[in-house]
């Protein structure tokens, strides 16, 4: 399955519901789409000809078209023969069923033919977008042929939905996810003033719609919004309030993890039936998960969403980087290629790519206007809210963008007083080539930006506007939104830790929901981790792009949580004594043994007896 969200998707909808337009939007940025048209063209029906012509006119010129009207077997052949690098858009299955019931094809076992279509969809190596009318909401047809069509199409929709990764119902132009893939679902739509098109809900509050309109104005596109994993969907999701973005200002009051439960979870580890000294550094992970889940026996994070923030920067901080290269990396993540996407697929995590506006050169002026900073913060909060609505149990924050690392270093220098040269990482080009000239240009740009703003204020919004730009502002909003919805965030890379530093100044609770699996020995990340009090769990020294270190460590973290939850108590440890502690009221108790200092074996310095 491709990690941008889907390999096969069924798009259902009524007449004029917008289902075809939505299906086309899923592959709008795909250059070589094969459009498979199933409807027959009747030259004697001008209105129908106009509909067909309208469909043809809106297709990109680089798409190819296959006509299969009246030949049901031809569609099955095309799907079966399609290659892995191809994308097929079939519009629609209603036309295919019409051909199936054509008297010219009778007598025919239509159920067997539907089975063949389903088998072809299941086995197809290509990416498939299948459009089909939803007739189940209409009246039962009054004619035999009408009932035969409705029955056959209903059976087809059910069977095809059973083998597609994702099923989307389009109602009045608004896509609503009905079924999601085990890893990810597609949504190549852009956040627009009609918020519901990028979410699961058909309507939103006026405040949210207004905020999203501002996002669209600043060209912040949230694409490939993914859904919850099947494992998380199979059990009741933790109830979270769906919070509209509040005014994001310093002094926000957001929830804290349950620290008492963190302590209880770590103490509980000492009672488990384990042959050695315990979980070592992984005990910290178990305590973190316990506090964020509010239980001393936390569950492994089954539904993990990787949010890849893509935003470029102009000027000296981008020395040695290429916007074309960062765009290619974002596209790789969307299409399931590259290190991040492959590690996400191996870990069963889904990937969301969110685009931020290009930031200006910070040595010459602000990176982003103040109103666009506000819009980016709101966009990040919205992405976190969508993750909460989908039942995501943890978010992994990553970023790619020309100059993003330099901008993150500028944020750190401005907020912590660090020397830019000490926190800027080496610039590594293609072929692992070290570019020291580019590194010096970045140092100079950060130094000049700090000098330019030396008499200005250093509030959180000022830091984002002057140095951070859209990507760090969006990541900050994401951290705040995740905190509000009680979702832990795994940080990995300079943008994430820079956002954590800024979010700390807006809501001090945010950093307590952050975990740093690995710092990659990046000086920016290491310095920010020291300031934030974040200790990395592992030291893999990976340098494969932001997010890859945390994804590589994710199976280890999950295994630790699964083992801690699955091990029983040691038979030699009494966990039910009178002095037991029940920290969360669930009836689970464990023994707390007070420390008693032993009596000294001989005279000490306070005995009044002179030492010999």
Residue numbers annotated as active site: 546
Separation of alpha carbons 144 and 142, rounded Å: 7
**Do residues 507 and 514 make contact, with C-beta atoms less than 8 angstroms apart?**
no
First to last CA, the chain: 78
- Cβ neighbors of 551 (< 8 A, separation 6 or more) are 306, 340, 343, 344, 346, 347, 349, 396, 492
**Do residues 503 and 523 make contact, with C-beta atoms less than 8 angstroms apart?**
no
Separation of alpha carbons 388 and 386, rounded Å: 5
**Do residues 309 and 398 make contact, with C-beta atoms less than 8 angstroms apart?**
yes
Strand partners, 64: 34
Separation of alpha carbons 316 and 361, rounded Å: 7
H or E segment at 133?
A: strand 127-133
- Cα dist. 154→133, 134, 164 in Å? 9, 8, 15
CA angle 508, 513, 514 (to 5 degrees): 100
Bond before 274 cis per omega within 30 degrees: no
Is the Cα torsion angle 260, 265, 268, 269 positive or negative in sign?
Answer: negative
Separation of alpha carbons 458 and 278, rounded Å: 44
Separation of alpha carbons 408 and 423, rounded Å: 10
DSSP-based three-state secondary structure for 74: helix
Separation of alpha carbons 217 and 109, rounded Å: 54
Nearest to 11 by CA among 130, 105, 127, 126: 130
Q: What is the largest CA-CA distance in the chain?
A: 119
What the block records as the tokens of 319 is 């020395």
What the block records as the tokens of 507 is 């809501």
- Cα dist. 55→42, 49, 342 in Å? 15, 10, 36
Separation of alpha carbons 169 and 167, rounded Å: 7
Separation of alpha carbons 362 and 468, rounded Å: 9
**Do residues 42 and 52 make contact, with C-beta atoms less than 8 angstroms apart?**
no
**Do residues 7 and 128 make contact, with C-beta atoms less than 8 angstroms apart?**
yes
Separation of alpha carbons 185 and 167, rounded Å: 9
What the block records as the tokens of 468 is 């951070």
Burial of 219 (0-12, 13-18, 19+ CB in 10 A): middle
Separation of alpha carbons 186 and 341, rounded Å: 15
């Amino acid at each position: 399955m491709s990690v941008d969200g889907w390999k096969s998707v069924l798009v259902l909808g009524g007449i004029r519901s917008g289902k075809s337009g939505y299906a086309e939007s899923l592959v709008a940025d795909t250059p070589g789409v094969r459009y498979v048209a199933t409807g027959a063209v009747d030259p004697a029906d001008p209105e129908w000809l106009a509909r067909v012509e309208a469909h043809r006119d809106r297709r990109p010129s680089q798409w190819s078209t296959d006509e299969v009207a009246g030949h049901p077997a031809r569609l099955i052949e095309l799907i079966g023969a399609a290659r892995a690098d191809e994308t097929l858009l079939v519009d629609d299955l209603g036309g295919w069923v019409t051909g199936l019931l054509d008297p010219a094809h009778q007598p025919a076992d239509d159920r067997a033919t539907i089975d063949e279509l389903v088998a072809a969809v299941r086995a197809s190596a290509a990416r498939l977008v299948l459009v089909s009318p939803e007739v189940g909401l209409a009246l039962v047809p009054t004619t035999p042929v009408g009932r035969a069509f409705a029955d056959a199409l209903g059976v087809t929709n059910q069977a095809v939905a059973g083998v597609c990764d994702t099923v989307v119902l389009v109602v009045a132009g608004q896509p609503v996810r009905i079924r999601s893939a085990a890893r990810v679902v597609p949504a190549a739509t852009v956040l627009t003033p009609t918020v519901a098109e990028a979410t699961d809900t058909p309507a939103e509050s006026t405040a949210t719609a207004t905020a999203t309109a501002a996002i669209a104005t600043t060209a912040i596109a949230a694409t490939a919004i993914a859904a919850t994993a099947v494992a998380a969907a199979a059990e009741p999701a933790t109830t979270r309030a769906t919070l509209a973005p509040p005014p994001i200002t310093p002094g926000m009051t957001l929830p804290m993890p349950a620290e008492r439960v963190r302590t209880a979870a770590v103490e509980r580890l000492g009672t488990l039936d384990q042959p050695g000294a315990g979980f070592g550094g992984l005990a910290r992970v178990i305590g973190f998960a316990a506090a964020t889940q509010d239980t001393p026996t936390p569950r492994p994070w089954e539904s993990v969403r990787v949010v890849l923030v893509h935003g470029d920067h102009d000027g000296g901080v981008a020395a040695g980087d290429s916007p074309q290269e960062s765009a290619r990396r974002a596209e790789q993540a969307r299409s399931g290629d590259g290190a991040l996407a492959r590690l996400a697929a191996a870990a069963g995590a889904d990937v969301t790519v969110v685009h931020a506006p290009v930031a200006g050169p910070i040595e010459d002026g602000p990176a982003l206007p103040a109103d666009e900073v506000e819009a980016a913060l709101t966009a990040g909060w919205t992405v976190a809210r969508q993750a909460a609505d989908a039942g995501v149990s943890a978010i992994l924050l990553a970023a790619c963008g020309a100059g993003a690392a330099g901008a993150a270093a500028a944020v750190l220098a401005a907020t912590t007083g660090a020397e830019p040269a000490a926190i800027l990482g080496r610039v590594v080009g293609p072929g692992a080539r070290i570019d020291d000239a580019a590194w010096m240009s970045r140092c100079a740009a950060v130094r000049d930006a700090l000098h330019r703003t030396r008499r200005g204020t250093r509030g959180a919004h000022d830091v984002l506007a002057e140095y951070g730009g859209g990507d760090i502002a969006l990541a900050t909003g994401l951290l705040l939104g995740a905190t509000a919805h009680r979702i832990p965030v795994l940080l990995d890379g300079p943008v994430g830790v820079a956002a954590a530093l800024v979010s700390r100044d807006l809501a001090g609770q945010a950093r307590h929901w952050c975990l740093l699996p690995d710092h990659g020995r990046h000086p920016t990340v290491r310095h920010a981790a020291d300031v934030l009090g974040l200790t990395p769990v592992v030291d893999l020294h990976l340098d494969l792009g932001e997010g890859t270190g945390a994804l590589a460590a994710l199976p280890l973290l999950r295994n630790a949580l699964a083992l801690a939850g699955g091990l029983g108590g040691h038979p030699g440890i009494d966990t039910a004594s009178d002095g037991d502690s029940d920290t969360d009221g669930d009836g689970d108790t464990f023994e707390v043994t007070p420390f008693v200092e032993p009596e000294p074996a001989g005279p000490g310095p306070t005995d009044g007896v002179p030492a010999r």
